[in-house]
Structures are given as structure tokens and as C-alpha cells.
Chain A
Amino acid sequence: MRDFRKTLMVAMGTTAITVGLFAGPLGVAAQDDAWQGVDDGTTVTMWTRAATQARSQALVDAYNASHQNQIELTVVPTDDYQAVVGAAAGSNSLPDLFSADVVFMPNWTSQGLFTDITDKIASLPFIDQVGPAHIDASTWDGKKYGLPFVIDLSVWMYNKELFRQAGLDPEKPPTTLAEFDAAARAVDALGGDINGTFFGGSCGGCNVFTWWPISWADGEPVMNPEGTESYLNSETMRTIYSTFRALHEDGITAPGTQEEQGPTWTGFFPQGNIGIMPMPASLQGMANDNLKDEDIGVTQIAGINGGQSTFVGGDSIGISRDSKVADQAWSFLAWMLGDEAQVEVVAKGGNVVARTDLADNQYSSADPRLVLFNSVAGVGETPFALNFGQTYNDPQGPWLVLLYDALFGDASLIDADNDAINDSLQP
């Protein structure tokens, strides 16, 4: 009897130890893999908009090279993105993954276009180090639907060589709107092909991205927090409009400013004959024969009275509600926020990373401009409005009408135009 009990206890003990030995690490290993999704050679369809194509493409290419799953990326013209996604949603033909301008997320999450990934997000080991702005914008009714994909911040970029020629100190960029104005005019005085600045005069989305931070830097909001009331006729905004109106009327802006609808507004600075202009915070592919890398200077967008801010924009990404390969699609999302993707693809390409713990990586610390990009994200904002797209991005929307009157037409109509914006913001 005693032998039996002893044997039993030894057996149980051995079993317990064995189970503990194997279940322990194995259990952890099983948990380790689950958060990464499934990589089994599935083809995953993905849409993204043209505005962020270079960075999306870089991530997709790197993923495809290192995984069995293959992502089929389709790039949709920026202006058409809302309409194309809407048409696909209405006919149940959304792709597996699609990115969304972060300002469209409230509209699309509230309409149920994405799969709920709250649990999957929670399972990411580094979730606490992912910048919250995009996830917050992709949260609806307590459920999370999106992750940050491309972080697009707005900064002022200036041509150091042209600054030198104009007698400006290339290491002392403007710190107020007035200094921006002065710098632009100084560079423009160089004459010839050189122009002080540029902006997209017929592009609603561009000027949201580049001018709202000036107001934020002064502590002036442009909308109420619920996104139902517009302050775009405030004194601060009017000063901004009149500054750029004067720049245009005085010929400081490059030709094509008034007509630019958006597709080419970022193509001017790299041509090397613009003094200073707001640009997305990315150095990817910018340097070329006409603009040497060491001549690209960056600084934060400043307000009328100083201060700094930025538009924390870019794209969020989620798994569509129509997707039948959610786990495989998730494999891409988990990977692209991981260390390797964020450092070797995003940071190496000269872009802002989504992980706060990786902001100080080997590539960004080597380049003070990237350090600046990463730091300014902390002082920026992402505006919220349910009807953001149809108000501010739509080429026929009311924001563009206000812009046109303020910059090129009858500026006394600004208040009436702002009323139209208010109407459009109502849910």
C-alpha cells in the first residue's frame, strides 16, 4: 500500500513537472505565434490611396519578400478614394485590407466597414508602445477597428542652398508665420525660376494638412471637439488666409498654385527651386539631382505667435468586414508594427515610426531631421468630424469654396462659406 501511494506520488510529481516543463514554454510559444496571425501562402487583397503610395508600397514589398502570404496592392487615386471604397462597400466587394485617411475613420468605422480587431490589438506584445492617435480615431463605440499604417505629419521644408543664396541662415529656419513669409519673399527675390513657396490652391485636403497646424500652434482650435462646428472663420485663420493670399498676389508662389488640385503638390519642392513650403514629414525618395539631401531642411510648423504643431495624419489600416482571410490579413498588420518593419523599412526610408519605443533607432538618431519628425508628433493633433471627407476633402465640398474665396476671390464671403461648412458637418 505504501509502495503504491509512493509510486503514485512520484508519477504525479513527474507528470506535473513534465507538463510544467512542456506546457510552460510551449504554452508561451503558442501564445507568441497567435498574435502574429496566419502565414500560409494566402493572397491578401489590399487597397491604399495614392497620397501614401510610396510608403505603403515599401511595406508591402518587404512583407511579400519575407512571408508566404502575398499582398496584392491596388493604389486608388486620392480624390476618388472615398467614392471607390463607398461603392465597393455598398456592393460587398471590399478588399481584405484597406487603409483609410485617418480623418475618414470615424465615418467608416461608424458605418461598420471594418472587422472588430479589439482582441487582436490587445494581443500585440508591444501595444502599449504604439502611438494612440490613429487607434483612437479608429475606435467606435468602444471597439477598435484600425491601426496606424502610415504616419503623415506636416512640417515646413526649406531649401538650405536657396536660403544661403538669399542671405538667410540655413540653420535658423522660421519660427513664426511672419518669419515664414519673410523667408519666402527673400528667396523669391533671387528671381528666375526660383519661387518663394507653393501651395495647392484647389486642394482641400492639402490645406487642412498644412494650415490648420498654424492655428493649433497658437492654441486656436479649428472645430469643436465633436466636429460639428467650424471655427474656420476665426481671426487666426483669417490672418493665415491673408498671408498666403498676399504671397500669391505678389507672385511669390510658383505658377500652378491656383489650379493645383492635389496630385502634384508634393512634386514641386524636390525640383529644387522652391524656398520654403509645408510638406509631409518624409524624406523618402526626395533627394535627387536637383535637390541634394544635405540641402533639405526641416522645421516644425509654427503659429502666428510662435509655438509648434503638426497635423497627425496619414493612414490607418483595418481588416474589412467582407474579408474571408482575416487571420492572414492580420499577419500583415502585426508584422508591420513589429521592430523589423518599423526600423528597417519605415525609419530607414526616412519616415516617422508608429512605435514610441523605436523613435530613437539607428536611422533616426543619425539624422536630426528624423529626430525632429518623431518629436513633433507629440505636439500635433488629429481633428475629428463624422463628415470630414465630404466637408474638407471633397473637391465640391464647402471647405474648398471658403478657401477659394479667401485666397483668390471675395474674402467677405468667408462667414457665409463657414456657415456652409457648419451645415455639412451636421451628422
Chain B
Amino acid sequence: MTTSGAVGRMPFYVLTGGLAVIFLFPLVWSAVASISPAGATGQTHGYGLGNYATLFDFGAGLPRFFLNSVIVSVLTVTITLVVSLFGGYAFARFEFPGKELLFLVTLAILMVPYATLLIPLYVLLNAIGLQNSLIGLSLVLAMYQLPFAMFMMRISFEAVPRELEDAALVDGCGSFAALRRILLPAVVPGLITVGLFAFLAAWNDFFAPLILISDPSQAPLPLAIATLRQQTMGAIDYGATEAGVVVMALPCVLLFLLLQRYYVRGFMSGAVKG
């Protein structure tokens, strides 16, 4: 054991303190830079919200891009939760032909690179009329969440003792009612973890919207802010870019701080098994 007392712990505090500063610095800097004066931005003199004003003027406007991101995230979370709730229930509590095959195929989504599927999805969405739409994008993002979500929900359901719903089933309760009244409350923590992961993935995704969304007014925030950089010939608006970063990062940071233990939970379930 190390020597007791604060002296022996000094190197520890110095090291971890230094690391903490390095980790926090970029985030703090971007917030400060977004309101600081800089040439060729909307905020040339003094501190203020000029860069944020630029975001409102750009293209379809910040509220529209923000709304796009909200819609995509909410849709993706909803679809993921619904599909994995029912699917996890099916895998954990029912036997049917092809069950394990379906589960393996779902997990196999992890093996296929993002780019490999996006090219045909671009053609496919076009064929079924979902091109350039937020709902089409959300379905794609939900599909990518399936491996983790299904795995998470399956083990969440499996962790609930069967006796709980068996009693209800014997009483004549249907499987849906058993799900709704007994199992659902028990797997809520799993649902929150799945929802959190799905939200973060959907809110922050860049590659899928880049390929699947052509209409600039339908763009979610990451795509819109990346496009914003080159608006006028001769100047790059770095200030507005950082303002955009703050707008994108803030909801994620807040949500993460609020639901951090659910995030950690997501790793505890799968990580050890490897």
C-alpha cells in the first residue's frame, strides 16, 4: 500500500487534475470561442451572441436544423425502443423456429461496415419513396442500433424472474398484458440505456445524413454546421462553427450527465462477456 496522507497522493492529484484539464479544455474553449470576438465572423468586436445570430440566418435557419435533429432523434429512439422491446420479449420468453438465427443475423449488423450498407440504402430508399426524408433516415439509424438494443433488452428480460409473470399468466392474463403490466416496469432501466444510446447515435450521426439527405433544409445539425463553414468565398466563419458545436454538444452533455449511470450500465452488461 502507498504511504498514507495527502503527500503521497500528490502525484495522483496532479496527474489526474492535469488530465481533467486536458479533457475539459476543448469543450470549455468552444463555448468561450463561440461568444468571443474574431474577424470574419458575426461577432467581430466584444463578447456576445453574434455567432449564434449567424446560425439563424444561415440556410433554412438554426431552428429548422435543430428541429430536424430532434425529429430524427425522437423517431430513431421510438422505433428502436418499440422494436427492441417486443423483440427482446420475444427472444427472452418465447420459443419459435428461427429464433436464434434471427438473433445472430441481428447481431451480424455489427460486422458490416457502415459505408457498405449506406450505398445500397441510398438506392433502396429512393426506390421505396423514402429518399431525402427524416423518417427514412431514422429507420436506417434504428437498424444500426438493433444489435446493441436487442442484446440489451434480451438480457434485461432474461434477468426478470419468470415467477413474476407466470403468476399473471396462470390467472388468464395474455402475453401482451403480462408485458405491459409486469415486465415493462421491470425492464425500464434497460429501455433507458437503449434509448440513451439511440439518442446519442442519432443526434450525432454525420455520415448517414451526408448520403441520404440531399435537401439542405432537411439536414440535421451536424450536416448543416459542416456545410455552413464554406458559405462565402474568401472567408471561413469559425465563430459560427463553434457556436454550432455548442448547440450540438449541449443536449448530449446534459442528457449524459443526467443519465450517466444508465450509460455505464450499457457496458456492464456486455463488456465482461466480450
Contacts and interface: CB of A to CB of B under 8 A. Distances in A.
The answer to whether any beta carbons of A and B sit under 8 Å apart in the complex is: yes
B260 interface: no
Interface in B194-236: 211, 214-217, 227, 229-236
B131 A52 contact: no
Contact of A87 (B60, B122, B233, B234): B122
B63 to A, nearest CB: 16
Contact of A266 (B59, B229, B230, B234): B234
Contacts of A77: 227, 229-231
Given A75-B59, A77-B227, A93-B132, A88 B214 contact: yes
Given A88-B214, A90-B126, A79 B230 contact: yes
B247 interface: no
B233 A54 contact: yes
Nearest to A265: B234
A50 B232 contact: yes
Contacts of A270: 234
A91 B230 contact: no
A267 interface: yes
Contact of B59 (A74, A78, A79, A93): A74
A264 interface: yes
Contacts of A266: 233-234
A152 to B, nearest CB: 10
A206 to B, nearest CB: 11
Given A74-B216, A90-B126, A93-B214, A52 B234 contact: no
A263 interface: yes
Contacts of B231: 50, 53, 75, 77
B214 A263 contact: no
Main secondary structure of the interface of B (DSSP, over half): loop
Contacts of A47: 216
Q: Taking each of A52, A75, A80, which has the highest tally of chain B beta carbons within 10 Å of its own beta carbon?
A: A75
B74 interface: no
Interface string A75-103: 11111100010011011111000000000
Contact of B215 (A50, A93, A264): A93
B125 interface: yes
A266 B231 CA distance: 13
B59 A92 contact: no
A74 B227 CA distance: 11
A78 B157 CA distance: 51
A93 to B, nearest CB: 4
Given A74-B59, A76-B216, A93-B131, A53 B233 contact: yes
Interface in A127-175: none
Nearest to A268: B234
Interface string B130-155: 01100000000000000000000000
Contact of B131 (A84, A91, A264, A267): A91
A234 to B, nearest CB: 30
B227 A80 contact: yes
A266 B216 CA distance: 26
Interface string B253-268: 0000000000000000
Nearest to B227: A77
Nearest to A91: B131
A205 to B, nearest CB: 12
Contacts of A265: 234
A268 B126 CA distance: 43
Interface of A: 47, 50-54, 74-80, 84, 87-88, 90-94, 263-267, 270
30 contacts: A47-B216, A50-B230, A51-B233, A53-B231, A54-B232, A75-B59, A75-B232, A76-B216, A77-B227, A77-B229, A77-B230, A78-B230, A78-B233, A80-B230, A87-B122, A87-B211, A90-B122, A90-B123, A91-B132, A91-B214, A93-B131, A94-B214, A263-B236, A264-B234, A264-B235, A264-B236, A265-B234, A267-B40, A267-B233, A267-B235
Given A91-B125, A265-B234, 8 more contacts: A50-B230, A50-B232, A51-B233, A79-B230, A88-B132, A90-B126, A93-B131, A264-B236
Interface of B: 40, 59-60, 122-123, 125-126, 131-132, 211, 214-217, 227, 229-236
Top 10 closest A-B pairs, CB basis? A267-B234, A77-B230, A88-B214, A91-B131, A266-B234, A93-B132, A74-B216, A93-B214, A50-B230, A91-B126
